[in-house]
Structure 1
Amino acid sequence: HPNKIGPQLGANVHQRNGHIVAVTHFLNWAQTHWPDPKPRYLLLFGDGNWNFKGYNPVRYPIEPIIVPPYLAWVDPWQGEVPDDNRYADLDGDGRPEIPVGRIPVISSEEAQAVIDKLMTYDERERRQFWQRQAIFIADDDPNAGDFAGESDNIIAHYLPDDLIPQRIYLHLTHSDADSVRQAIADAINRGAFMVQYAGHGAPDTWMKGIGWSVDDSDLLSNEGRYPFISTFNCLDGYFAYPGLTSIAESMIRKSNAGAIAAISPTGLGVTTEQSVFRQFLMQALFEEDTRTLGDALLIAKQRFFDQFGPHYLIETMTLFGDPTLRLPAAFYAHDAYTPLQLHSNPASLRASPALTPPEGPSITPHPQL
């Protein structure tokens, strides 16, 4: 009912003085008043930040607020963070009902760049060799977690046979941050189905500022070969700070390069809990072949809720991109496809048995920053 959405939502927003809950109230209203099909997905097309009144523009540059962030006190360590999950939590119990994604653009040029990438993305099968590449990037800090080991566990127990893992592990496959940075750019430029990163993060950097950064997106030239990215770190999806571009935003906005979508946190996180969430996401994507990215993330969040109840990861893990995006399916030729490494990779496969979710939620007081 595209002709009804604008007037109805506009009236709802007006009645509530532009409050963010208008979107959720509208979706609830549509569930009871619309005939089938009812809304199945929510796409927030536009960026936003928390400086609604333009406070201190010298320190916080004034930027358009196209779709405001839903700010909520859900991060156990730093408190209020952007929480787009609340838009799709129709009954307010912490368990979202519909998939939600955000395309964080602030200009028509950025919007067109994202649309162009979506229009050319091949959702059919992973027929091309580059579509079978899965890039795994890991930080190195034993005090915060075994990031390489967690990635090896995903490779060993969840990666489909047709996908070829490429490991870029700090101090294991690559000796220093400079070689890691170049390896990431080279791997993405060759093309990849997906990229995963585990380690330390900030809004605009990985690996405590020595690894990949927002500025490094200038190294990318992967036109037509866009991966979806998922990160299990801290804050690299924090999109609501005025004047600061997050890694997730930079990869989505990049014209003719970068990523087709990203699943990234807007808050802090703990490795052990992120690892369980990561496994739920991989199960939905590959064991159950949930190809629609928004549906896969929704399944992971709902299962995490069913296991642990309300949890900060359900609120902060955010989809940047179109929630209706369908990932290409596995493709097998006449004979079984045998995955081979692109080149020698010295990382040993140190996979442990598949992790079992703990009996209940546990909040470690020292998140990985």
Structure 2
Amino acid sequence: MRVRTIHIILLLSLLVGLTGCQIQNPSNLPGQEISQLRIIVSDEGYYQITRKEWEENGLSLHDPDQIQLQFQGKPHPYWLNAAPDSNDFAIRFYSPPVSPANNLSENVFLLSRGFSESNSRIIPKKAPPTQSNFQNNSTGTYREKYEGQALYLPHAVGEDHWLWALFQPDQPISQEINLPQETVDSATIRFQVWVSPTNMENPVQLFSASINDHVLTPIRVEGQGWQEIEFQLDPAYVTQRNNFSIQPITSPDDLPAKIYLDWIKMEYSLPVYLDDQVQSFAIRENHFFTSTGSSNGSLVVVDENQQVLDIYSIQSDHLFTLANLPDTTYAWIPDNQFLPVSSLQPIQKEELLLPSQPIDYLVIAPKKFQLALSPLINLRQEQDLATLIVTPQQIYDSFNSGTPSVDSIQKFIQSIDQIEPGQLDYLLLVGDFTYEIIDYQEFIKLVPSFFISSGLSGETISDYPYTDLNADLIPDLSVGRFPANTSEQVTAWVEKVILYERSIPSDWNQMITISDPSDTNFTVFADSFLIPFMGEYQTQLYNAPGLHEIQEIFQSSYALVTYFGHGSIDLWGKEKILSIPMLSELPKSPAPPLIISFSCLNGYFIHPLKISLAEGLLFHPGGGAIGIFAPTGQTLMEDHEKLLQFLQNKLQSNDHSRIGNLIYHQKGENSPDNYFVANIFQTFIYFGDPAMLIP
């Protein structure tokens, strides 16, 4: 049966730059109705979109009851500044801090038209006037936060692995801190550092600090990992413009740990006066909040989870009193201080509809790669695999209100599987990823992977969670990735796969192992891997092969090659058995080897400045590797032994026609220990097409 390929393609017009934000010209989309606007904002803050802006983008919004604003798949609070028939009609909303765990430097919202029971519009209230003309303004606690994201530290515990700076010996780190006025009632400075683990059981560290050249009493800190340090400041030394410096104090006899600065926070108290500047504050202990303002604006009440509770419309010179709620903060935004959004992007009236028929082979790839993938898609449909290809951006818009996330992709995969549970067998991800924090336009060119904790190497990357559809730690499908950056890379790889599948033999022509000579255990593992196959296949073990032998190995057709030894991102072995510069000297082959790397980090493809060995071998045109199963983190030899036994059993079963069926546990097979599968496989990625036919 010939199964047609199902393509879902979203047509987007080019961006046209305008003052304030970027908008798209709807005239470029003739005859297409705009049903949604994708809103991009760069940071935490209070934003405004005017009627002129959304109408210029082709979206018609007139009825307040039909306005829908969503963020991360949920209705998001907003309010209107004027009546719909007013020329100043605008939508206002709060954008929370951008989460560093998502690798995205911007927040994404969806604005649409339609009735819904979950409308999240908040109607501003009028603040009640105070009953006394002699009431003093309440005192507010203000916070200023300074944070840098210059250094990526995968070993840091938690979600945030980006830190500001590494402390250098005898070099303090300084930060200018500006306050709204010359005097404050009280002031405190806190900062957070990461103390890298050392061999010391309970290290002790002293931190010195100064404010405007006034030296503060040093603080003693015990322990490793995240440490938060607090200095109480004498208000007499605090001015409107302040210079704060900090540094660790290290004894010449101590072996200093690496200490990283994460952020600095300044907390101070002042009487609250709502002037012409945006401000955020909390009211301590008082039952009531009393103030006055010199401008018209919005006073927003936010709870401890950064959810908007209430909004008050404040008129200038209006003295008011509010009942102060516990665990809340207030934000004051003058009417002329709302921020413009960074970008508005029209979305056509087109939904990501799930197909009615079951899918065998799912491909997720940015639109720019879909033409280059067409020959591979056609080949899979000729092999009777029902195929669906979709862009990550379509998934984000449909499953997470536009915000890129691995969770939304996982939900989409689960939805595809639910059409006919168990039918989806293969998932191909085509696109690169990075640990860098990037903007939305760069993010949608990539296909994200999951960040996981791997123990030895800290945070690393994994595609394995995409395979586990019911959270039982056992894979329900096979996943592979081609981490392309260009269409040319995709074209060359597709040609290599199609050529490989033209004349596949019934068995592997050779089984080859390569061992690192730096440890005899590697040779023992390499030899033990081959023992079960010596009577059935042509086998050979290379211990510390030279360049000529490496060239012979990679010229072999339909060979299964395994490597046992030390490794890093871009090489095998301390003696550089194989490295990225050597790839240019590899010969071409119509059927390059399939490689399994029992090493470390060869599959760490997200480094922005290095090409991983897996990428280099896969990108090599007409040669290199047809696919490679490689680790993304540091692994233990005992884990390699378990993985070796698992793959030996799979190879001996001869019950696999495609590479995904060989590498991953399949339905109906004896279930291995769930923890073993998840613990090992989550730090390995198969680079290649999981539906590729193999001997």
Describe the SS at the equivalent of 1:196.
Answer: strand
User: How far did residue 152 of structure 1 move?
Assistant: 1.0
Q: Which residue of 1 aligns with 2:539?
A: 165
Q: Which residue of 1 aligns with 2:613?
A: 247
- Show CA shifts across 1:312-348 (max 9, x none): 31201111000011212xxxxxxxxxxxxxxxxxxxx
Describe the SS at the equivalent of 1:252.
Answer: helix
Letter in 1 for 2:396: V
**8 Å CA contact retained: 1:304, 1:314:** no
**8 Å CA contact retained: 1:214, 1:247:** yes
**8 Å CA contact retained: 1:42, 1:101:** yes
**1:327 and 2:330 correspond:** no
**1:154 and 2:529 correspond:** yes
- Partners of 1:36 and 1:270 in 2: CA distance: 35
Describe the SS at the equivalent of 2:574.
Answer: helix
Q: Which residue of 2 aligns with 1:316?
A: 683
Q: Which residue of 2 aligns with 1:24?
A: 410
How many residue pairs match? The answer is: 306
**8 Å CA contact retained: 1:117, 1:224:** yes
Choose between structure 1 and 2 for higher RCO, CA contacts under 8 A separated by at least 6 residues: 1
Partner residue of 2:656 out of 290, 293, 297: 290
Letter in 1 for 2:417: Q
Describe the SS at the equivalent of 1:30.
Answer: helix
- Partners of 1:166 and 1:317 in 2: CA distance: 25
Q: Which residue of 1 aligns with 2:466?
A: 87
Identity of aligned residues (%): 25
User: How far did residue 113 of structure 1 move?
Assistant: 0.7
- Show CA shifts across 1:159-185 (max 9, x none): 264421122102xxxxxxxx5233112
Q: Which residue of 1 aligns with 2:396?
A: 13
Q: Which has the higher strand share?
A: 2
User: How far did residue 223 of structure 1 move?
Assistant: 2.5
User: How far did residue 2 of structure 1 move?
Assistant: 4.5
- Partners of 1:187 and 1:253 in 2: CA distance: 18
User: How far did residue 245 of structure 1 move?
Assistant: 0.7
User: How far did residue 299 of structure 1 move?
Assistant: 1.6
User: How far did residue 3 of structure 1 move?
Assistant: 3.3
- Show CA shifts across 1:100-144 (max 9, x none): 00011110111011000111113655379xx512221001233xx
RMSD between superposed Cα atoms in Å: 2.8
- Partners of 2:602 and 2:421 in 1: CA distance: 38
Map 1:121-270 → 2, pairs under 5 A = 121-122=500-501, 125-126=504-505, 132-142=509-519, 146-157=521-532, 159=533, 161-170=535-544, 180-208=546-574, 210-270=576-636
Q: Which residue of 2 aligns with 1:71?
A: 451
Map 1:316-355 → 2, pairs under 5 A = 316-328=683-695
User: How far did residue 48 of structure 1 move?
Assistant: 1.4
Note the residue ranges of structure 1 that are not aligned, 5 or more in a row: 55-61, 171-178, 329-369
**8 Å CA contact retained: 2:515, 2:564:** yes
- Show CA shifts across 1:36-81 (max 9, x none): 8842211001111121327xxxxxxx999521222122x1112211
Partner residue of 2:438 out of 29, 44, 53: 53
Describe the SS at the equivalent of 1:250.
Answer: helix
User: How far did residue 309 of structure 1 move?
Assistant: 4.5
**1:43 and 2:428 correspond:** yes
Partner residue of 1:103 out of 461, 465, 482: 482
Describe the SS at the equivalent of 1:226.
Answer: coil
Task: Give TM-score scaled by structure 2 length.
Answer: 0.41
**8 Å CA contact retained: 2:464, 2:682:** yes
- Partners of 2:513 and 2:539 in 1: CA distance: 7
Letter in 2 for 1:45: V
**1:116 and 2:495 correspond:** yes
- Partners of 1:300 and 1:244 in 2: CA distance: 34
- Partners of 2:659 and 2:606 in 1: CA distance: 23
Q: Which has the higher helix share?
A: 1
Change (3 A) 1:25 1:51: same
User: How far did residue 189 of structure 1 move?
Assistant: 2.0
Note the residue ranges of structure 2 that are not aligned, 5 or more in a row: 10-351, 354-389
User: How far did residue 186 of structure 1 move?
Assistant: 2.3
Change (3 A) 1:79 1:53: same
Higher radius of gyration, 1 or 2: 2
- Show CA shifts across 1:1-49 (max 9, x none): 85375634655412421111112101111222x2588422110011111
User: How far did residue 192 of structure 1 move?
Assistant: 4.8
